[in-house]
Structure 1
């Protein structure tokens, strides 16, 4: 009994030591594999991230080479770009970050908004990592929001000296108000709430503009299923919401109520411009004459929406809210 136990002891110890040795070799192999992968990753990052001069050359080709290239890539010409860049630095608190200067941050953001390009494509264009592109985009958007008080001006009422025939009939008018639907991506449990009449999720954004096509008020965030009148009431109830002086008003379509500060067309009468376009069916009643003049003036907000969606692709393709 003692001899068997004494002979089994060394064998058991040898077996345990053998297992320990195998485990140590396996751990050593894993460590070596990790080092190889880490070194490869570092090499890829070093080749991916260019030097300062090469990045400045990319920005020069995008922005400063010509007005035509700048407009195609960033949807604005060089002088407006430079003015917006200076405004973001002076008033939007946007600062240079390491090797990413303010003009490059703005160029990345405008390229994303203008063409709705994915992060990985922007990373390739500007030779920046995906993480850097995401940080730059968020930082620049926050800086742009800080400029809202400078960019959104107070409207001026139409006066008797107005030369535009479309607006000369509407003395004291501040402009036009309407809503536009922006396609968005939402969670499955929110799709019914955001679904518009066309059957897909949208955000109903209310805007006000002047006769000179200047946007003076924006209220985003409402579901695509929300009625225009409900959104307008919300805009009026907010502390810093839409303000309409007592002697002034906005032109609105039939989706809104005809009330103090808002002038809607006559219901049950021809209204849309397409109904007057042929010229074969002139206005027959005073109500139709009013509706025709109302539609021609109020169409300015539709023109603004069309111009925005034509220039900035982010307004016509799906935007994620998740």
Structure 2
């Protein structure tokens, strides 16, 4: 249901509890909170579907979803970063004479995408982009070893890619 094997779930849960503040509440264990988050973002599911599946109130679903999300944002800040923040080493492939003059100083590759979202009607105009649906503009940067070194999410779909980049 969570698009990961049980050992991966357990390792993610253990890391979030130990290092990023994921904790149980009086009526819900931290495993269930993580499960609610993963199940919600997997498909994505509506709040009413989550309520029916986990037999929880709307307020509880919102509160625990936000709690897990905040823990994952802290986790992401630690893992989505360059291994060498000063980018002192030039990638071996770029030292080849056929690439070097064109890609001198290049540290990776950047791309953006629009993720469909459901937003309240009052925010719809901000999220309605050129693709014809409401979305969030997400930008990612990878190094030449295909590791994310930067990610920016949360911009409304109407935001131009250049604005997100700047």
Name the TM tier (shorter chain).
0.7 to 0.9
Paired residues for 1:11-30 under 5 Å:
none
- CA 1:188–1:96: 2 relative to 1, 3 Å: closer
Aligned equivalent of 1:154: 82
1:121-270 correspondence runs (5 A) = 121-155=49-83, 158-160=90-92, 169=99, 173-186=106-119, 190-233=123-166
Following superposition, the deviation at residue 208 of structure 1 comes to 0.9
Bigger helix share? 1
- Larger gyration radius, structure 1 or structure 2: 1
Q: Secondary structure at the match of 2:21?
A: coil
Deviates more, 1:79-88 or 1:185-194: 185-194
Alignment partner, residue 315 of structure 1: none
Deviation at 1:82, TM superposition (A): 1.4
The root-mean-square deviation of aligned C-alpha atoms, in Å, is 2.7
**For residues 221 and 199 of structure 1, do their structure 2 counterparts lie closer, same or farther at Cα, with a shift above 3 Å needed?**
same
Give the count of matched residue pairs: 156
Structure 1: how far apart are the matches of 2:44 and 2:114?
17
The match for 1:120 is 48
Q: Distance in 1 between matches of 2:157 and 2:31?
A: 35
**Alignment CA distance shift 1:96-1:154 (3 Å):** same
Counterpart CA distance in 2 for 1:216 and 1:204 is 18
Quick check: 2:91–2:144 contact (8 Å CA) kept in 1? no
Which digits, 9 at most, give the CA deviation of each residue in 1:19-64, with x for residues without a partner? xxxxxxxxxxxxxxxxxxxxxxxxxxxxxxxxxxxxxxxxxxxxxx
Give 1:140 deviation, angstroms.
1.0
1:230/1:82 Cα in 2 relative to 1: closer, same or farther (>3 Å)? same
Counterpart contact for 1:207–1:218, Cα < 8 Å: yes
- Quote the Cα distance in structure 2 between the aligned partners of 1:223 and 1:125: 30
User: Is 1:88 the counterpart of 2:21 in the alignment?
Assistant: no
Q: Secondary structure at the match of 2:108?
A: strand
Instruction: Judge conservation of contact 1:194–1:224 (CA < 8 Å) in 2.
Output: yes
SS in 2 for 1:117: coil
Per-residue CA deviations over 1:214-254 (Å, capped at 9, x if unaligned) read 22212223332333223222xxxxxxxxxxxxxxxxxxxxx
Aligned to 1:275: none
Change (3 A) 1:96 1:230: closer
